[in-house]
Amino acid sequence: MRVLLVEDDTMIGEAIQAALKDATYATDWVKNGQTALTTLACQHYDLVLLDLGLPGKDGLEVLANIRAKDNPVPLLIITARDGLDDRLRGLDGGADDYLLKPFEMAELLARMRAVLRRCNSPTGNSRFYKPCWCARAQFCRAAIWKAASMAGVKK
């Protein structure tokens, strides 16, 4: 399993890289959005971990760029941005999950396994990817809105 980690914070990046290595993932770590896009254009990855607050190109721009190219790579956002708007933009923009910092490495690894389970087509046919993340983003959006309305949050 090859993972692309997009994270500009050195301490967080080093901690994630070490945890992924222990979990036997091969990890490439880049620190800005443009390098992430360049790397994704010429390398296959099984999963992308994407920070949102990045120098230059913002993580949401990077996500939009990846999906605009019909790249179906499973993608998990890791960010400190906890606003509903950011979460909706991330999930509706094609992220498969959204994990808030700070998080425990054990939870990151569990969410990565869950995303990989859900997104990897049993036939290995990549055309099954896109409906997978589209349907889930809509489902998550509905679930989040339901939770928000139950919590009394106004739209």
Instruction: Say if CB 66 and CB 48 are below 8 A apart.
Output: yes
Residue nearest to Ca ion (CB): 53
Dihedral pair phi/psi, residue 74, rounded to 5°: -55, 135
Place of tokens 């991330």: 90
In angstroms, how far is CA 28 from the centroid of its own chain?
Answer: 15
How far apart are alpha carbons 131 and 14 in whole angstroms? 33
Does residue 53 bind Ca ion (CB under 5 A)?
yes
Residue selected from 51, 76, 96, 115 as contacting Ca ion according to rule CB under 5 A: 51
Does residue 97 bind Ca ion (CB under 5 A)?
no
Does residue 55 bind Ca ion (CB under 5 A)?
no
Please report how close the Cβ of residue 25 comes to Ca ion at its closest, in angstroms. 21
Which span (4-12, 81-89, 107-115, 128-136) binds Ca ion, by CB under 5 A? 4-12
The nearer residue to Ca ion, 8 or 46, going by C-beta atoms, is 8
Quick one: DSSP state of residue 1? -
